[in-house]
Structure 1
Amino acid sequence: MTAVDERRMTELFENLEVPEGIKIELLRGEIVMMAGPDLVHNLIIEEVLDQIPRRKWHRLQTQDIDILSETSEPQPDLVVLDRDATPDSGRLMPSAAVTMLVEVVSRTSVQRDYLLKRSIYAAGRVPVYLIIDPVMGQCVLLTEPAGSGDEADYAVQRITKFGDPVPLPLLDVDLATGEFGTLKGVRPHRLP
């Protein structure tokens, strides 16, 4: 895609009128639309929010992220950043200000969360990417981003089954996962 095409896509994305209940993201130059989240998804996010201390961390939902060097404006399920590192305003949060991004896998987001966003968030140098997967009953913690563009990835991956704690040393939290629900009737996958 040329620079002109990328600017035009970003402009179209920013001016798109989205029906209520639909979430959109710009991921590597493509506009992706999704239906609203499942109840299991929302309850998992609530559990995570309750465990991250509000005094030290902002825990934001519906926050668009500016991934430098990418034609991407993802809207993760949860954005965690140090209260001292927060910009004063703006629609786009610079990825450099973010400590952790969380995505909860849905019936239709498996490939996007495990592959595409993993690469995009690593390219944006987001220190911690946590994938919570109610399809497989597991959490995948990704740290140490490296590389650029499509080749960007996380050097360290840790898989934890629901019920076991997920250590989040950057946040000084051991995330309890025993209350995380699972999605019923969804075909298992083989990622990560």
Structure 2
Amino acid sequence: MVRPLEERFRTVRDLLPDYRVETTQGRIVVNETGSWQHNTILSQLLFQIAGPVAGRGWEIWPNITVYLGQYADRYVPDLAVVPRSPRMWEEYAVHGDSTLLVVDVVTVGSTYDDYFVKPCGYAPGGVPLYLVIDPFQHRVRLYSEPGGGGYAKQTDVAEGEPLALPEPWGMSIDTANLLSAV
């Protein structure tokens, strides 16, 4: 008897607690923790958003699963920003519509999933903003205005151009600082 994907996902997640385990299009994907370049990009982003996040009483969560629906994929972004006391599905999974921003830094093996698969899962799950930082293409992409068919808006900026985050953020990300250190 083949076990349902959700059961296999939980088993792998429990067996490999030091890895990021997610399901993507019926696959269980095990990702190692990030390289120094990956972590430097995330650090630079954190320096920029920490003040506004703290000022609004929000929280920054690394390594949290985003619950997108009973039969939907389970993604583990590099960072998720959530309001205080977000709606949880399990202790390790926040509901997508209870996030404020989800962030992934592209790695060699994640390009297709980050640009094409995950936006199609995050949008119907209610994730309002999905930020993809791509050190290989030297660009940043923001998906916004989610709906059942995907995101209605996609904003691409090259390294060095500011990226405006819509309300409730009301701020811009300095992309030069994100990518210049790697």
Q: Is residue 160 of structure 2 the alignment partner of residue 159 of structure 1?
A: no
CA deviation after TM superposition for structure 1 residue 29, in Å: 2.7
The equivalent of 1:8 in structure 2 is 4
Instruction: Structure 1 unaligned segments of length 5 or more: list them.
Output: 185-192
Q: Is residue 117 of structure 2 the alignment partner of residue 116 of structure 1?
A: yes
The equivalent of 1:91 in structure 2 is 92
The equivalent of 1:33 in structure 2 is 30
CA distance in 2, matches of 1:28, 1:69: 14
- Amino acid paired to 1:55: G
Give RMSD over aligned pairs.
2.3
CA deviation after TM superposition for structure 1 residue 74, in Å: 0.7
Alignment of 1:55-66 (within 5 A): 55-56=55-56, 57-66=58-67
- Amino acid paired to 1:38: S
Instruction: Structure 2 unaligned segments of length 5 or more: list them.
Output: none
> TM-score under structure 1 normalisation?
0.81
Checking the alignment, whether the CA contact within 8 Å between 2:80 and 2:99 is kept in structure 1 is yes
Checking the alignment, whether the CA contact within 8 Å between 1:136 and 1:182 is kept in structure 2 is no
The equivalent of 1:137 in structure 2 is 138
CA deviation after TM superposition for structure 1 residue 55, in Å: 2.9
> TM-score under structure 2 normalisation?
0.86
CA deviation after TM superposition for structure 1 residue 19, in Å: 6.8
CA deviation after TM superposition for structure 1 residue 94, in Å: 0.8
Checking the alignment, whether the CA contact within 8 Å between 1:28 and 1:70 is kept in structure 2 is no
**Match of residue 24, structure 1, among 17, 21, 25:** 21
DSSP-derived class of the 1:156 partner: strand
CA distance in 1, matches of 2:92, 2:55: 23
* Partner deviation per Cα, 1:75-128 (whole Å, 9 max, x = no partner): 001101222x52477211011211111111011110010011111111212111
Alignment length (residue pairs): 174
DSSP-derived class of the 1:123 partner: coil
Checking the alignment, whether the CA contact within 8 Å between 2:162 and 2:173 is kept in structure 1 is yes
The equivalent of 1:189 in structure 2 is none
DSSP-derived class of the 1:71 partner: coil
**C-alpha spacing 1:19/1:129, structure 2 compared with 1 (3 Å):** closer
* Partner deviation per Cα, 1:112-153 (whole Å, 9 max, x = no partner): 100111111112121111111101010111111122xxxx32
- Amino acid paired to 2:55: R
Once structures 1 and 2 are overlaid, which stretch shifts more, 160-169 or 22-31? 22-31
CA distance in 1, matches of 2:17, 2:126: 32
Runs of 4+ in 1 over 3 A off after TM superposition: none
